[in-house]
Structure 1
Amino acid sequence: MNQPRIPNQREVVDRRALADEIATLAADGGGKARPEIVRALKAALEAGRAELDRRLEDKPSTGHEITGGHAFLIDQIVRTIHDHVVADVYPAVNRSTAERLTLVAVGGYGRAEMAPHSDVDIAFIHPTRNAAWCEQVIEAILYYLWDLGLKVGHSSRSVDETIRMAKSDLTIRTALLEGRYVWGDQDLYDEVSRRFADEVVKGTERQFVADKLEERNARHRRMGDSRYVVEPNVKDGKGGLRDLQTLYWIGKYIHKVRVAADLVDVGLFTQAEYRSFRRAEGFMLAVRCHLHTITGRAEDRLTFDLQRAVAARMNFADRPGKSAVERFMQFYFLQAKRVGSLTGVFLAHIDEQFAKTRVRRGLLAGFTPRARELKGYKVFGGRIASPGDDWFRNDPARLIEVFQLAEAHGLEIHPETMRQAARDSGLIRREVRHDPRANALFLELLAGRNDPETVLRWMNETGVFGRFVPDFGRVNAQMQFDMYHHYTVDEHTIRAIGLLSRIEKGELTADHPRASRLIHEIASRRAIYVAVLLHDIAKGRGGDHSVLGGEVAEELCPRFGLDDGETALVAWLVRAHLLMSATAFKRDLTDPKTIEDFVSQVQSVERLRNLMILTAVDIRAVGPGTWNSWKGQLLGELSDQAMERLRLGHMKHGRKERVAAKKEAVTELLGDKKGLLRLYADRFDDAYWIAEPEDIIALNIEHYGAAHEEQDNLSVHCEVYPSRGATLVTVIAADHPGLFYRIAGGIHLAGANIIDARIHTTRTGWAVDNFLVQDPLGLPFSEEAQLRRLEVSIADALANRRALVPELAKRPLPHSRAKAFDVSPVVTFDNQASGRFTVIEVNARDRAALLNRLARALFESRLVVHSAHITNYGERAADTFYVTDLTGGKVTGAARLKAIEETLLAASSDERQAELENA
């Protein structure tokens, strides 16, 4: 955009010396000199790149200088080749007017923004079609560029063709818009530029802006539609380089600006905003250069495995509570956020400029509607605006008020007012933060009835949010270096508030029926909104963010205006916001002790209602696909059982009554097959009847009966289980040691992930095992071929027809990027969580068939697995097993527990994975 000055240019490439060398080679070698000329050009190119790489290493944030340097290097190479071809390969003494050629750099090359492996985009323009000399010269130049290993995007058109195609093709029009003269016939370039301005641009400004914005929106949708996705695309992602380029294109098209700095002169940016523009652009260009250098290719995705390397190259260091890579990514997202703010202000100004030039016709042509007043603000055209430049300076609490009014009245905020708010956000000091009026306004906005999510995002973009709630400012643009969280902490929080608002308005009843009902039963709606705001407020402080967040809540809630009861509730919710999901996903909900322990921590129905709502929005706001019906079902079961226990002071029915009720319900489901119950019901113990839902018991009884009638030793049945968003796999077989790990191995080999498992043994020694499985995308196996593959794979594994260990080791992880993370395996034992079982939890880096290896380790440790609960948090797996020893008792001896721990750690280690892969 602004052609940077390249210091010590001849250290990058000395064109005069290179041209002299090539002229000498051409004179000495004649037609056979070409290989030597290519070698000389290649040596110059490689030396120039090496010099620029050295400069990037010395000054790792100089994005403009390095990208401009690469464009300068290519310029000199292209000019040298052109002059050699015209002088030595296809010399023409008396060229006709048709034998003229101009070389125009377009794309990133045209903007002088080239990363080390960017394409070289050149437009060859000549006066007329079918000029043989022009085609020969173009072909010769291209062959030289290809021989140098450059990836060239090129076009060859006459002036008329160029103008005609620019009129109909947005891509060509944009390319010419940022075209830059490189070499050749200057007059021809000037002619194309003049005709482009007169014949293409003039009168099409509005359409160009509309087309560019639609193109941008489509690109955002492809890239995740958030500038806070944790693996951003530096070039095409929201808030990335392409968004900055779009602003420049629009400004240049409408106002004919030559360089980005001219956007200040035409009033689209202030000087301070332009400096922000350049800072953000320079940083992102530098990041892109580092990505290209590290990978040796044109890589624009800032993936997890590259984030550490780029952070190190850009000299980011660890700090207490925040790693180097998290600090680097936080800075990246702050730049992306700034791009978003600039985009909003810029486009709103463009819109306003168009509105001023719009011609009114008809009876109302002379009528200008007046702005109405709202608490001193001007409201016009659906926008709220401050009445003057000193509005916020005179009363800084208005910085909160303007956003509250926008949310309450469904208004947008005028771009000039947004600009003022960003400029004046520093006026929010201690006295404003403790102003009761300002806090009341903030609380009204937070719990707004219209669209608090959007308005809070605007507030965050201006910096007002972080100034008013400094603890929120600390998590602004903060990423969490893992594969589970899709967004930065501030974006996750604002999305969670938006989800809470939608649940309250009844828009998500199908996905969240309990939360949609409970939110209208809670005592304080503002308390749940504050709890959602604060649940992750203490992340990145180097301690347990739940505990630290509780302390923040105790300090902030009274400031916001919450009473003592609301403050105590919010502080507890923040401290316990992970309790419900951990219990539902990692514990056996059919074990009475699980419910007792959970209820003892929750203690009241009011807390439970709020915790259910907070848990739902927290999980869903993590990212797309994180919430599913399986999680909803488990949380619902826990909520219902805990609610019953809290309301009655005990479980409604004792063990015998619950088993009898289950049998009665199963009898109804079996219908004309209810006779199977008389034959087989007594073979299943009470634990089975309590653990399994009625519909699964009915299926199990049918399959158990069929297996016995056919005197088959094995029954494998798979079917979709819609209420859990998974596929139910039932295996009935003669029980024997190692059955569980073999079934798990067969399921993994079929490409499925186990999310829950219940293992039962009948009184007659038969195993009845139920597994819930999903594909790597978290969806059920539903096609007939998939179900058949599951059944065959399990049967083969149990019959030893497949070598499980080597085959499983070769299977790739569904998330191969998990290797970018350091996750040390941890094994914990809990003999208090269950009355009958020892509960073992293993946390480890997710990898191929981890569950199979852990199950085998438990088998080799002479343990019986009764249920398994499988949870994944991105790259991290958390697998919980309810086990007994071979005699049916808990595992208690210290030496025994230590030996089991070592076996499980070995099974989940990277070294063990490497051994298996090399076996």
Structure 2
Amino acid sequence: MNDWRNAYRSAREAAIARYRARPRVPPLLRDLTRAADHLLQSIWQHHDLPAAAALIAVGGYGRGEQFPQSDIDLLILIDDALPEADLTHFEPLIGLFWDCGLPVGHSVRRLSECLEEAAKDITIQTNLLETRFLCGDSELAARLQTRLTAAIDPVAFLAGKRMEQTDRHGRFSDRGLMLEPNLKDSPGGLRDLHMIDWVGQAVGFARHGSDCLAAMLPDGLLCRAEIRRIRSSRNFLSHLRIRLHLAAGRREERLLFEFQEGIAHELGLSATATRRASEILMQRFFRTAHAVAMANQILLGALAQAIEGRADPQSFDLPEATDFKSHPERILECILHLQSHPELTGFSPRALRLLARAGTHIDAAYRRNPLHQRQFIAILRQPRGVTQALRLMHRLGLIGRYIPAFAKITGQMQHDLYHIHPVDEHSLMLLRNLRRLALTEFAHEFPLAHRIMQGFDAPDLLYLAALFHDIAKGRNGDHSILGAIEMQRFCRSHTLPKEASELLIWLVREHLTLSTTAQKQDLSDPDVIAAFADRCGDMRHLNALYLFTVCDIRATNPAIWSTWKDNLLKTLYYAARNHMEGHTVVTDSVEERRKQARILLRLHGCTDSAEAALWPRLDDLWFLRNSAQEIAWQTRTLFSALRQGPSTLVRTRVSPIGEGVEVLVHAPDRHGLFALICGFFAHLGYSVLEARIHTTRDDHVLDSFLIMDPAHTHNTYRDILNYIEHELAEQIIRGHTPSAIPVRVARQLRAFPLAPQLSLTRSEGRNDYILSFTAGDRPGLLYAVARTLADHHVEVRTARIHTLGGRAEDVFVLEGRMLDNAEPRMALERALLKELQVAV
């Protein structure tokens, strides 16, 4: 056995060494297959086994495509006449296979059982399509293949495989799998190419891989150029899978973060000034997957027509003689025709192929033609099918031809810790989200945004801006500004009206303004609201930006959307609208806040003694920073405790916005208290979304925190609210500073470290300082920052915690005498950077 095992190991190592020296896919897969064949045949022939049995390779191994860490799938086929007692001869065989280093997956079945199982299970039937005789009874193996082939119903097989593929695409289109795609099973992966082979074999074309493609050529199902593209795609995906198996040293089909950079360098890819080598690799993968998915769609459709002997009557077909070169206007005309005929399910395979080829006729002259320009704009203005049309145009390569800058971002990945889609897919997701706001069946998702969209006069401008908002990603410079320049060129070349052009250019340039203002600035500051409203200028621009921002965040990564973010955006939207409508003076006055809070207190049965106990201890800033509802809740919550004199008190409630927990802390002020509270939340496993720090006139803190359990480990709020109120108060009274949180860095951050950026500047016209930083997020990061600030005798006045996936973008308002001196201020900056760099 040792000799067999050593010989097999040596053959594998030699094959892999030859691949590393000269990377070629077919020789490696062939050599690995032969090494396994030789060992299996040697073991089989060494044992005294019944003659009426055969050892058969199935699946990928049967196809002759044995990857470095793939399982070796085997069928031990038994003749129906073999006595039951003889089956015991095969049991030791499997253990011996494993002992020799073969990772086998096996089944032992009689011939009749194989045929019965294949008839019931399309996965088994597919596996048996790719059988390869190894040793034993060759006549028995031939009988299996003959009877299986005769039993296949091509129509049922195609229908079953299509359902299977749809289900697989759904399972492997999860947002995490966009970042770390499964090379076999993700849409556009190797399995989509296998689908073409399987269905082709079921229809009766030649067996096994490329032979099947070549056999389709005479029937006109595909052309030589398409065969070359499919083989090229298969070769690239196979190279990736081989490299992944070798890098992982185990059976791994997901292109995990930790392998992407290394594999990119192995394939000869190098980083540029603006992009990692891994991002270039992933762009090539997504473009290949895009091409595979289109080939799969066209060929499965063509095979369906070959089986049924007719075209789908609900598809839009084009004659083979369609001349797009002489009549280029028909290209976009076809898209408009599909949009205006809801009874059509899509294009026929022939139409898809012709339109994909037609992209070569879209050049500068085509783009300058006023008719073609009107057609493109008309597609965006159709009452139905806008998202479907744009996605279809993208798959056919027509958008990248019509907007060349869009072609550059196709498949472009961003390893920035929060985007989960390539830039092109993100842009189309944004367009899709905007489109949903215009449709009444989705009104319940975002009621405010839906109402605004219903009153917006030109939704097509929003759709167009969606295509351009990130079009300059990956270039040197601010992508918003560079994108606005691209948008301006488009508007000018299409002679769009001045008002429409101005809105488009402004929207692309300012598309991040609302989210950054809402999440990083103090929305209780009238100056912040006024500056933002002035930047928008009028309600049309504000409405457009609000709609765009909601849909953009949702298209970036659904996991970073929260009720809290939704509430922030609405708060800023309403505040800016009030400012534009001239209501600023009334709503922002301290007296108006007091008046509204008194009304709410009376509704809760509180007398004027409630506010008399608390309000004299608070300055005007507290009233400006809190809404009337917040003022009323804090006042009545603290009233009973404050009648007995100032004390340490912690009170909680489920946040009024419907997500997270609001924590109110009243305690004597002392140095390091903010860090202590942050440490308590960190050890609890909760994230702090927002902190409002206030010191009363009698030197007590009145701090409020909005916290959330990111892992959703607590099913009910009651127990955790009681726990926080009791345990946090006890820790504050004892003055116990929690221990540091062990550093646990996420896999993506380890693979793609984010260099921290930090800014510490004095506020204009005030005595405080603004600290802002961007860094990789980790559990306990806020606590580490708070401890560092406390160690340098700096107090936190407000904190806005903005987490984007694995990326933290936090803003603090700080106070401390040492900040006025350059040397201790620089020492603080160095200490903070050291904490932030731990994640790197």
TM-score (normalised: structure 1): 0.86
CA deviation digits over 1:456-495, x for unaligned, max 9? 1111111111111101011011111133111111111111
Residue 391 of structure 1 corresponds to which residue in structure 2? 323
How far residue 546 of structure 1 moved from its aligned partner, in angstroms, is 0.9
How far residue 84 of structure 1 moved from its aligned partner, in angstroms, is 2.2
SS at match of 1:409: coil
Residue 884 of structure 1 corresponds to which residue in structure 2? 815
Contact kept in structure 2, 1:586 and 1:871, CA below 8 Å: yes
Residue 894 of structure 1 corresponds to which residue in structure 2? 822
Contact kept in structure 2, 1:726 and 1:779, CA below 8 Å: no
CA RMSD of aligned residues (A): 2.7
Q: Using the alignment, how far apart are the partners of 1:731 and 1:635 within structure 2?
A: 26
SS at match of 1:621: helix
Q: Using the alignment, how far apart are the partners of 1:617 and 1:779 within structure 2?
A: 28
Q: 1:257 to 1:789 in 2, by over 3 A?
A: farther
SS at match of 1:847: coil
Is 1:305 aligned to 2:271, yes or no?
A: no
CA deviation digits over 1:727-770, x for unaligned, max 9? 22222222221111111111111111111111122223322222
Instruction: Report the residue type matching 2:268 in the other structure.
Output: N
Structure 2 counterpart of 1:340, from 272, 275, 293:
293
How far residue 800 of structure 1 moved from its aligned partner, in angstroms, is 5.7
How far residue 391 of structure 1 moved from its aligned partner, in angstroms, is 2.6
**Structure 2 unmatched runs, 5+:** none
Residue 283 of structure 2 corresponds to which residue in structure 1? 330
Contact kept in structure 2, 1:228 and 1:491, CA below 8 Å: no
Is 1:58 aligned to 2:8, yes or no?
A: no
Structure 2 counterpart of 1:276, from 229, 236, 245:
229
Structure 1 counterpart of 2:571, from 637, 656, 663:
637
How many residues in Structure 1 have an aligned counterpart in Structure 2?
834
Q: 1:779 to 1:720 in 2, by over 3 A?
A: farther
Counterparts of residues 192-591 of structure 1 (less than 5 Å): 192-198=144-150, 200-201=151-152, 204-224=153-173, 229-260=178-209, 261-263=211-213, 264-265=216-217, 266-356=219-309, 381-410=313-342, 411=344, 412-591=346-525
How far residue 227 of structure 1 moved from its aligned partner, in angstroms, is 11
Q: Using the alignment, how far apart are the partners of 1:561 and 1:381 within structure 2?
A: 40
Contact kept in structure 1, 2:773 and 2:809, CA below 8 Å: yes
SS at match of 2:258: helix
Contact kept in structure 1, 2:613 and 2:643, CA below 8 Å: no
Q: Using the alignment, how far apart are the partners of 2:548 and 2:160 within structure 1?
A: 41
Contact kept in structure 2, 1:227 and 1:336, CA below 8 Å: no
SS at match of 1:321: coil
Q: 1:49 to 1:752 in 2, by over 3 A?
A: same
Contact kept in structure 2, 1:447 and 1:529, CA below 8 Å: no
Contact kept in structure 2, 1:527 and 1:562, CA below 8 Å: no
Which is further off, 647-656 or 731-740?
A: 647-656
Structure 2 counterpart of 1:186, from 113, 135, 138:
138
Q: 1:829 to 1:801 in 2, by over 3 A?
A: closer
CA deviation digits over 1:11-47, x for unaligned, max 9? xxxxxxxxxxxxxxxxxxxxxxxxxxx2222222222
Contact kept in structure 1, 2:687 and 2:709, CA below 8 Å: yes
Contact kept in structure 2, 1:734 and 1:767, CA below 8 Å: yes
Contact kept in structure 2, 1:428 and 1:468, CA below 8 Å: yes
CA deviation digits over 1:327-383, x for unaligned, max 9? 11000001110111012112322343454379xxxxxxxxxxxxxxxxxxxxx8333
Is 1:74 aligned to 2:2, yes or no?
A: no
Q: Using the alignment, how far apart are the partners of 1:416 and 1:654 within structure 2?
A: 64
Contact kept in structure 1, 2:59 and 2:131, CA below 8 Å: yes
Q: Using the alignment, how far apart are the partners of 1:639 and 1:779 within structure 2?
A: 33
Residue 362 of structure 1 corresponds to which residue in structure 2? none
Which is further off, 304-313 or 243-252?
A: 243-252
Counterparts of residues 825-840 of structure 1 (less than 5 Å): 825-832=756-763, 835=766, 837-840=768-771
SS at match of 1:716: strand
Contact kept in structure 2, 1:759 and 1:769, CA below 8 Å: yes
Instruction: Report the residue type matching 1:218 in the other structure.
Output: D
SS at match of 2:739: helix
Q: 1:66 to 1:737 in 2, by over 3 A?
A: same
Residue 809 of structure 1 corresponds to which residue in structure 2? 742
Q: 1:566 to 1:693 in 2, by over 3 A?
A: same
Contact kept in structure 1, 2:594 and 2:628, CA below 8 Å: no
Q: Using the alignment, how far apart are the partners of 1:638 and 1:582 within structure 2?
A: 11
Instruction: Report the residue type matching 2:7 in the other structure.
Output: A
TM-score (normalised: structure 2): 0.93
Is 1:818 aligned to 2:749, yes or no?
A: yes
Structure 2 counterpart of 1:765, from 688, 699, 723:
699
Q: Using the alignment, how far apart are the partners of 1:510 and 1:746 within structure 2?
A: 38
Is 1:860 aligned to 2:788, yes or no?
A: no
How far residue 648 of structure 1 moved from its aligned partner, in angstroms, is 2.4
Contact kept in structure 1, 2:676 and 2:736, CA below 8 Å: no
Contact kept in structure 2, 1:308 and 1:325, CA below 8 Å: yes
Residue 845 of structure 1 corresponds to which residue in structure 2? 776
Contact kept in structure 1, 2:587 and 2:593, CA below 8 Å: no
Contact kept in structure 1, 2:257 and 2:747, CA below 8 Å: no
Q: 1:227 to 1:872 in 2, by over 3 A?
A: closer
Is 1:46 aligned to 2:9, yes or no?
A: yes
Which is further off, 539-548 or 760-769?
A: 760-769
How far residue 503 of structure 1 moved from its aligned partner, in angstroms, is 0.7
Contact kept in structure 1, 2:559 and 2:805, CA below 8 Å: no
How far residue 405 of structure 1 moved from its aligned partner, in angstroms, is 2.4
Q: Using the alignment, how far apart are the partners of 1:825 and 1:43 within structure 2?
A: 50
Contact kept in structure 2, 1:220 and 1:226, CA below 8 Å: no
Counterparts of residues 135-214 of structure 1 (less than 5 Å): 135=87, 137-198=89-150, 200-201=151-152, 204-214=153-163
How far residue 620 of structure 1 moved from its aligned partner, in angstroms, is 0.8
How far residue 510 of structure 1 moved from its aligned partner, in angstroms, is 3.6
CA deviation digits over 1:119-139, x for unaligned, max 9? 111000021366478635533
Q: 1:256 to 1:760 in 2, by over 3 A?
A: same
Residue 836 of structure 2 corresponds to which residue in structure 1? 908
Q: Using the alignment, how far apart are the partners of 1:166 and 1:687 within structure 2?
A: 75
Q: Using the alignment, how far apart are the partners of 2:81 and 2:627 within structure 1?
A: 77
Q: 1:438 to 1:866 in 2, by over 3 A?
A: same
Structure 2 counterpart of 1:114, from 66, 70, 88:
66
Residue 17 of structure 1 corresponds to which residue in structure 2? none
